[in-house]
A and B are shown apart, each in its own frame.
Chain A
């Protein structure tokens, strides 16, 4: 079979020793060969520090990349997991013959500490002969003191398989390092059931609740997710979190109803708002504030009784006035519904007089209006309502609300600023006239 590539040995050498990219080095001496020699010396001195009693299992490679000797290292970790795992090996890949030497170290005489040391080197080691609980625990202790994650995992897999859940949990409860390792391991392999059992046993109730809740992230279907969230209610979250979880469920429940209804309305084509502003995305799984915005956009005038009305959302989720007004403002401003914006801030007192007030600063109102390209007259009206004079002046100047600037300068008796602003208005405009009139007025005691 034509398996061999048509390459000479020299070509292979060149291939391995050349590179498209020159690696970055920090030394001025760019002599690759001397660097290579240096690192080789340093690394070889390392060998003294490596636990090296079984030389012949190590594959030695010379610096040119050629293997020294023809031994391949047995896939010892695989055998280890074979020995431990209860799932049969499935293999779709072409079978490659395994070297016979693989099982030759199958011995019965290793003590726990020897066993653990062999595991660290990746050698085959059957753990089956550690039968008694005491032996198993000693094995675990040795593994933990070695700090080697792979070894601890290997021992835990063995214990998980050969000990009852209750005993395993009970023993690990007093062994913090191994316990943490087990939790990390169960998370990584996704054994949610055992993880939850463990948390329940340890009475780590909040972690249990959060771990269960986390699962919802993996459920895509909205109805299934909603049903799952229902199972999270009543779990031992903190008081605050419990309320949030409840809200999460209620919100998704509402969103499913709204989504179904609106999709129907949209396809029927009879509703103006949907025709004029077709929906760009589904409302499912959106945050609460986004849902409120959507509701203020598409369902503003609906009565409290419907699931999709803004007022209903406000009541159900106890949305504070501040948040509500901000969101409604953003939605109505986007639709350029200036009357609605007006109504948001107008209140009638008992005498019947109207007054404008806002639970958020009017400067925020102005910013949102500006972002939505509100006409200057509307902007002007709200800039005028900004309480802090400096902010008012700043915003008026920024958004070219000439009358407000002029009036404010007049009120502040600031002649210099008014003079400076004159150059910013159009020549011959009504504003220029107004400024000139003020500047020449003898009635005003200018301060500068």
Chain B
């Protein structure tokens, strides 16, 4: 398998070439280049194209305009709507979904979400109850109901795995992705960016230590690591607050050390044989520990820096409702020192969301500073942010955030990072609004927060999907419900950690499986909303 690149196709002794792509226009240009660069003197090869998850009329039109459409023998689609990232996590990996849904009103991603859900139901049974909050959630539910109606004739006889489906619009909780995540996995994503479960890290800390080499063998290519729950240690620490990771790693180091020391106690042939058989597992554990110790060191360099502390302080002030109505000194300093634009945008948007919009004077001030420092062309991005509700003027002079914060208990002063008792540990004090909504839906139900739900954007609703008799679920006492929670517009690793925390609570009552249009963080989110040249 080769990555799609311009110009000539890589040399390979094959007869068939299949392009396996998302239906994006710019990719069609690259494909056309590949096809047109084919060496006519060589044996002709057959071209095929597979669009994921759907064919696109516009893409095929583009291929036609570029003169290569006729070169393809097969033009098909591969409906991979939801991709499993872990045992409890699925994503459509659709980068454009948020912008399309909330800025352009384009429902294509919602259509794919609905289709993905239909596939899930085909495999795991009809979901008896659907809850939702938000315009897009409503649309997806409508599509699901309509799709089910169209597939009449055969009943789904699979015993349902899910009790509930909860559809949530991202714009019901615009706050959470803007704050800096503080779980181990969240910080890796914030600092280095996790792509498709892989992370690229600076290689220096991962070079094997050789005696007397003088460092001349230092690798120059980034160290690429795969991160998922198959790695035992990672599964243990990924969702912890970063401040709790150190003690786990040092405990692990002692256990592994002790395990290796056991070789001294192995006397008989049988004992030696047993020790040797366990060696691969121990070596893997030791390698895993070494990697994560290095990663933790890299993260610590960032989290102990003065700037990280200052930024976090400002974020937490905003989230706890302090001084959200005036120009913030730290943000001003960041602009003056020309820190990364996205960093600045995340902070001003956070302030705006925590204030239900900024006073016109404050907003105009920030906008002017930003445009003068980073360039006037960013008017376009600022406009997108306003359209998304992230950075806007306050209307009606009312700040609703304190009500929401107090009713949903979003800011928790006493947080236990080591042994958390509440989901607010993932941001060291702030409980993700979206996860709170899920938590309250499970117990005691949304009727208890009617007022807040009315303040949050979009309708909230409940639908039932009838099950054939005999398939009704009867839960044993103590058995957990299973809820599939679908974030329409993106989800962060911190929110995933918070949901996993709820899942493993002793008497939580609900286990969660998480689905989304995209795994994201504040940076990738804002980046997708920036206007770039065509």
Contact surface of A with B, Cβ cutoff 8 Å: 2-5, 24, 26, 42, 45-46, 48-49, 51, 72-73, 75, 77-78, 80-81, 85, 87, 89-96, 122, 147-150, 153-154, 157, 176-177, 180-181, 183-185, 188-190, 210, 213-214, 216-218, 240-241, 244-245, 247-248, 251, 285-289, 317, 319, 323, 326, 364
Give 14 CB contacts A-B under 8 Å: A48-B151, A48-B154, A49-B154, A72-B73, A77-B60, A77-B75, A92-B36, A93-B35, A93-B71, A122-B55, A190-B534, A217-B534, A289-B373, A317-B372
List residues 162-188 of chain B with CB under 8 A from any CB of chain A: none
Q: Does the CB pair B43–A96 fall under 8 Å?
A: no
B104 & A90 in contact (Cβ 8 Å cutoff): no
List A contacts of B86 (CB < 8 A): 26
Stretch at the interface among B202-210, B275-283, B374-382, B489-497: B374-382
Q: Which residues of B contact A189 (CB under 8 A)?
A: 58
Q: Are B379 and A213 in contact (CB under 8 A)?
A: yes
- Is the Cβ of A91 less than 8 Å from the Cβ of B67? yes
Contact B55 A217 (CB under 8 A): no
7 further contact pairs, Cβ within 8 A, besides A49-B118, A77-B55:
A72-B74, A147-B114, A147-B143, A148-B111, A213-B379, A244-B376, A288-B376
- B residues sitting closer than 8 Å to A (CB atoms) are 13-15, 25, 35-36, 43-44, 54-58, 60-61, 64-65, 67-76, 84, 86-87, 100, 104-108, 110-111, 114, 118-119, 122-123, 143, 150-151, 153-154, 226, 228-230, 333, 336, 338, 364, 367-369, 371-377, 379-380, 383, 531-534
- B107–A177 contact, CB under 8 A? yes
Most chain B C-beta atoms within 10 Å of own C-beta, residue among A89, A177, A287, A364: A287
Could you say which of B43, B75, B376 contacts A251, with CB atoms under 8 Å apart? B376
Chain B CB within 10 Å — which of A89, A244, A245 has the most?
A244
Chain B, residue nearest A82 (CB) = B64
Q: Is the CB of B60 within 8 A of A81?
A: yes
- CB pair A26–B67 under 8 Å, yes or no, is no
Report the separation of the CA atoms of residues A80 and B55 in the bound assembly, to the nearest whole angstrom: 13
Residues of B contacting A241 in the complex (Cβ-Cβ under 8 angstroms): 379
Residue of A nearest to B68 (CB): A93
Q: Would you call A81 and B57 a contact (CB within 8 A)?
A: yes
Determine the distance from Cα of A364 to Cα of B329 in the docked complex, in whole angstroms: 12
A424 to B369, CA, bound (A): 41
Q: Known contacts being A183-B104, A188-B25, is A46 close to B122, with CB within 8 Å?
A: yes
Q: Among the listed B44, B228, B369, B371, which residue makes an inter-chain contact with A24, where contact means beta carbons less than 8 Å apart?
A: B228
Query: Which residue of the partner chain, among A3, A26, A94, contacts B84 with CB atoms under 8 Å?
Result: A26
Residues of chain A contacted by B226 (CB below 8 angstroms): 24
How many whole Å from A291's CB to the nearest CB in chain B? 10
Residues of A within 8 A of B43 (CB): 2-3, 5
Point out the residues of chain B lying under 8 angstroms from A5, CB to CB.
13-15, 43
Q: Tell whether A210 pairs with B71 under 8 Å between CB atoms, given A81-B61, A150-B55, A184-B104.
A: no
Contacts A122-B55, A147-B111, A287-B373: A326 and B336 contacting too (C-beta < 8 A)? Answer: yes
Q: Quote the shortest CB–CB distance from B306 to chain A (angstroms).
A: 10
**A75 contact set on B, CB distance < 8 A:** 69, 72, 75
Cα-based distance from A348 to B369 in the complex (angstroms)? 30
How many pairs, one residue from A and one from B, have CB atoms within 8 Å of each other in the complex?
166
B residues near A214, Cβ cutoff 8 Å: 380, 531
Select which of A72, A78, A89, A244 is within 8 A of B371 by beta carbon. A244
A333–chain B nearest beta-carbon distance, Å:
14
Please determine whether B380 and A154 come into contact, CB atoms closer than 8 angstroms: no
Considering the complex, give the chain A residue whose CB is closest to the CB of B377: A217
Given contacts A49-B151, A92-B67, contact A85 B61 (CB under 8 A): yes
Complex interface: chain B residues within 8 A of A48 (CB): 151, 153-154
Bound form: Cα–Cα A78–B68 in Å: 12
Shortest CB distance A12–B (Å): 9
Contact call B531/A319, Cβ cutoff below 8 A: no
The minimal Cβ–Cβ distance linking B492 to chain A, given in whole angstroms, is 22
State whether A210 and B118 are in contact (beta carbons under 8 Å apart), knowing that A91-B69, A94-B71 are contacts in the complex.
no
Q: Which residues of B contact A216 (CB under 8 A)?
A: 377
Task: Give Cα A94–Cα B86 distance, bound, in whole angstroms.
Answer: 44
Chain B residues with CB under 8 Å of A319's CB are 372
Shortest Cβ gap from A365 to chain B (Å): 12
Can you name the residue of chain B whose Cβ is closest to the Cβ of A243?
B368
Find A176's partner among B57, B105, B369 (CB 8 Å cutoff): B105
With contact pairs A81-B64, A188-B25, A210-B383 given, residues A94 and B377 touching in the complex (Cβ less than 8 Å): no
Tell which of A24, A149, A216, A286 has the most Cβ of chain B within 10 Å.
Answer: A149
In the complex, A80 Cα to B61 Cα: how many Å?
Answer: 10
Would you call A91 and B70 a contact (CB within 8 A)?
yes
- Return chain B residues, CB-CB under 8 Å to A96: 70-71, 73
Q: Are A51 and B150 in contact (CB under 8 A)?
A: yes
C-alpha spacing A90/B68, complex, angstroms: 9
Residues of B within 8 A of A80 (CB): 57
Contact of A287 among B61, B111, B228, B375 (CB under 8 A): B375
Establish whether residues A153 and B376, one from each chain, have CB atoms under 8 Å apart when the complex forms: no
Chain B hits for A46, CB < 8 A:
119, 122
Known: A3-B44, A81-B64, A95-B70. A49 touches B372 (CB 8 A): no
Contact of A92 among B57, B68, B379 (CB under 8 A): B68
Residue of A nearest to B67 (CB): A92
Residues on A with C-beta less than 8 A from B123 are 42
Query: Are B230 and A26 neighbours in the complex by a CB distance under 8 Å?
Result: yes
**Which residues on the B side are within 8 Å of A93 (C-beta)?**
35-36, 67-68, 70-71
Q: Which chain B positions have C-beta within 8 A of A323?
A: 336, 369, 372
Contact A149 B372 (CB under 8 A): no
Closest chain B residue to A216, Cβ basis: B377
Q: Chain A nearest CB: distance from B289 CB in Å? A: 21
- Residue A247 contacts which of B100, B364, B376, B534 (CB distance < 8 angstroms)? B376
CB distance from B15 to the nearest CB of A (A): 5
Docked Cα-Cα span, A414 to B70, in Å, equals 86
